[in-house]
Amino acid sequence: MAEISDKLVKPQGMDDVHFMKQALQEAQRAMDEEEVPVGAVVVMNGKIIARGHNMTEKLQDPTAHAEMIALTAAFNALGSKYLPEATLYVTLEPCPMCAGALYWSKIGRVVYGADDSKNGYRKVAGDRWPFHKNTELSYGCCAEEGARLMKDFFQQKRSPWPVVVPLHHPKNSYHAIYTRSPSLRARCVRTTHRHSYHADSPW
SS3 125: helix
Euclidean distance between CA atoms 9 and 28, whole angstroms: 26
Alpha helices in the chain (DSSP H): 14-32, 56-59, 66-78, 96-105, 122-125, 143-158, 172-175, 182-195
Positions annotated as catalytic residues are 67
Contact call for residues 203 and 192 (beta carbons, < 8 A): no
> Dmax of the chain from CA atoms?
61
End-to-end CA distance of the chain: 49
